Amino acid sequence: MTKTFLSLLISLSLAAVSYSAFARKPEIRLYKMTLDGNSEKYLLFGKADNPGCHNTPYQYKVYKVAVLAFKTCSVYSEKDCQPDSILPAYWKKKDKASTKMKQGTRWYLAQDESEVGVSSWSCELKQP
């Protein structure tokens, strides 16, 4: 009986733990193409998990973007997330462009997967 009670108690405790405790931390990742055709992630200097607008130290040549646990993210060709410099992104093998990237790792900045200049990015958190 004690073993059954202990099992029940553990099950209830695990069920009470919020799903958010297991959720991934928000992050945006910008990737460049290396000379040998592989992906390499740019270092975003500790800002990749912060919402809001952030500038890159110089214009990064980006071909792919990954958005993890943010509501949406956008990338810009100019510093300070200038609205008129927002860049469209394409989901892998889809023709429809979007300026608001939702969670996923298959966002490309050009349909032919070539690199595009990125100078800033902005992300929004999901509402609790």
In degrees and rounded to multiples of 5, residue 76 shows phi and psi of -135, 145
Average pLDDT over residues 81-101: 95
CB 108: neighbour CB atoms within 10 A? 20
Q: Where are the beta strands (DSSP E) in 26-96?
A: 27-33, 39-41, 52-62, 64-68, 70-76, 86-87, 89-91
Domains and CATH numbers, the chain: 22-125 (2.60.20)
Cα separation, 4 vs 112, in Å, equals 59
Q: What is the pLDDT of residues 95-114, one digit of tens each?
A: 899 999 999 999 999 999 99
Q: What is the pLDDT of residues 12-71, one digit of tens each?
A: 444 443 333 445 799 999 999 999 999 999 999 878 999 999 999 999 999 999 999 999
User: The pTM is what?
Assistant: 0.80
Cα separation, 50 vs 19, in Å, equals 21
